[in-house]
Amino acid sequence: MERFNTRTATLHGHKLSYLDSGTGSVVLFIHGILGSHRNWAHLIDRLDDNHRVIVPDLFGHGHSAKPMGDYSLGAHAATLRDLLDRLGIERVTLVGHSLGGGIAMEFYYLFPERVERLVLVASGGLGREVNRVLRSAVLPGAELVLPVIASGWVRARAETAGRVMSKVGWKPSSDITAIWQGFTSLGDGESRRAFLATTRAVIDPGGQSVSAHDYLPDVLPIPTLIVWGSRDRMIPAWHAIRAQQSLPHCRVELFEGAGHFPHLDEPDRFAELVREFVATTRQEEPPSAFGG
């Protein structure tokens, strides 16, 4: 049972669900594909004693609406900007995981004056490579296959197998738990359509199709923390090192032994990193435009 009550804001005629807790400088968390606020909820009470923590479900995910329309990085970034406007929030620290990292970078590119610092966690948009499971979602016929593998029958048998394995000592990793929670959200047609639209906006059969390296060298410097798990099987950890080519002053923290969800593997360490990063970095003047 969740400890925090979800709120809703109606943006452009569609309901967006979010959590809002604490007071102080604002930290906005952005989940990845198949994610929701549940991927971050455990961090709220680790940070909301001196920060205001905003944790939305992106459109197409969680409790938010799943409309027909644009699921590109820019569309998600604009939605988050609209949410901040609705809440009367001027500037934030953005914490983005996987797809959410790509959205965070897009947000900064589009609305630099609204961002104080970036925290990118196993972020998309920093290299071509991505797990073949996500690449398969963009192949022809995925619309026909997904309803079968996301059916109640398949989910029930997988859950039964999980219970049997747990009796002999098997414990699912943070990656498996989080991905399974996301997978179980695909039981209805609207959620599957939104998942496919979101995935196809950033991935093609060869890998990630949107690269932040195309524009990051041209943006004004901003305090940036990159966090990755050394055993990430969704997006390779060496993307963090490559990111330093485009963000030469960024800080990289590698969680040894963690997977694609390092904030779930080591939540206390992650929360302390974010807290310390916010406390020790500051952007002197909000940029009004890029260049120069």
Q: Which residues pair with 228 in a beta bridge?
A: 254
Residue type, 209: S
Long-range pairs of 151-154 with CB within 8 A, sequence gap ≥ 24: 151/187, 152/187
232 in catalytic set:
yes
State both tokens at 245: 């080519």
Alpha-carbon distances of 257 from 61, 121, 228, 236, 266, rounded to whole Å: 28, 15, 10, 13, 10
- Chain center to CA of 285: 27
37 in catalytic set:
no
- C-alpha to C-alpha distance for 194 and 247, rounded to whole angstroms: 31
Residue tagged active-site, from 76, 260, 263, 265:
260
- DSSP secondary structure string for all residues of 236-274: -THHHHHHHHHSTT-EEEEETT--S-HHHHSHHHHHHHH
61 in catalytic set:
no
Rama region for 210: left / alpha / beta (φ>0; ψ in -120 to 50; rest): beta
Residue tagged active-site, from 98, 185, 191, 246:
98
Residue tagged active-site, from 232, 239, 263, 265:
232
Q: Quick one: which of 68, 52, 49 has its CA closest to 60?
A: 68
Reduce the DSSP state of residue 97 to 3 states and report it: strand
Query: Catalytic site residues?
Result: 98, 232, 260
